Amino acid sequence: MVAIGAAPRLPELLESEFADLTDHLSGDAIEACATASRNMRDDHQIGWVNAVPNAVHHTALRAAAAMARALGDRSTADRHDRRADALREDFQRLLFDPEAGRYRDGLDRTGSPIDHHSFHSSVFALRMGLASERLRPGLVRAVADGGVRGNIFAGMFFFETLFSYSQGVRALEFITDAAAVGPARQLAQGATTTWEAWDKDLKWNTSLCHPAGSMVGSVIAQEVTYRCWGAVFCAKRQRPSSFSTSAPMVSAIRRKPRSVG
């Protein structure tokens, strides 16, 4: 556990506790990090080096470089960028499986690739900017065709990925289809609050008012309301004809809160 007072030492703690000599996030803590969350894991395999935290680590390094550059510290910015470049190269070389066209979940303790390609590994590789430009179209199609195979937290990155790679129509289909895994399914079950899981029975103790449930809502607010509706309202002063007001996500806006049995 890292105390709040230790925040200035976070880079040092990350490197000493989680990163090996090749600057991959690794170790027992990474292996154990998903054991408490078995809700829609798509059988994601946790190894000594794991795809998901390393993808996030890559984005953190890029953000640290950008902050250092904004503060005029070019040497620190360049150092973080070099680390991110090296991580991206290793991520691609070690984790992408050309035969499957997907990213592997990670590496075991011997450094051998884990022969499993979960929803999470490819979604995070795309969202965190690790997938090469050549691979992105095929990866995005594969991810979209598979639908949401992760919990609400992973779902946020799934929807962000589709919107980021020109698959907004597919994202809207998942968002508004009550038969698919997504927010419309919650509304079809009577949700008027932000649930912790896509379905009440996915966890024995699912909270029906949980902050995690607002994650997908933030994507809807930003991508659907602002980008889709906002752009059309500003340009044409009308609602997009392709987005039906009878869809569950839209009609629910007019509903009054009610109890859930």
Q: Which residues of the chain have pLDDT under 50?
A: 1-10, 13-22, 29-37, 231-261
Based on the number of CB atoms within 10 Å of its own CB, is 84 exposed (0-12), middle (13-18) or buried (19 or more)? buried
Cα distance between residue 164 and residue 142, in whole Å: 15
Q: Which fold has domain 12-236?
A: Glycosyltransferase (1.50.10)
Nearest alpha-carbon partner for 260 in 174, 175, 201: 201
**Per-residue model confidence (pLDDT) at position 251:** 43
**Per-residue model confidence (pLDDT) at position 212:** 82
Tens of pLDDT along 136-147? 999 999 999 999
Cα distance between residue 239 and residue 117, in whole Å: 39
Cα distance between residue 231 and residue 118, in whole Å: 35
The residue type at 183: P
Half-sphere exposure of 88 (CA within 13 A, CB side): 18
Structural domain boundaries in the chain: 12-236
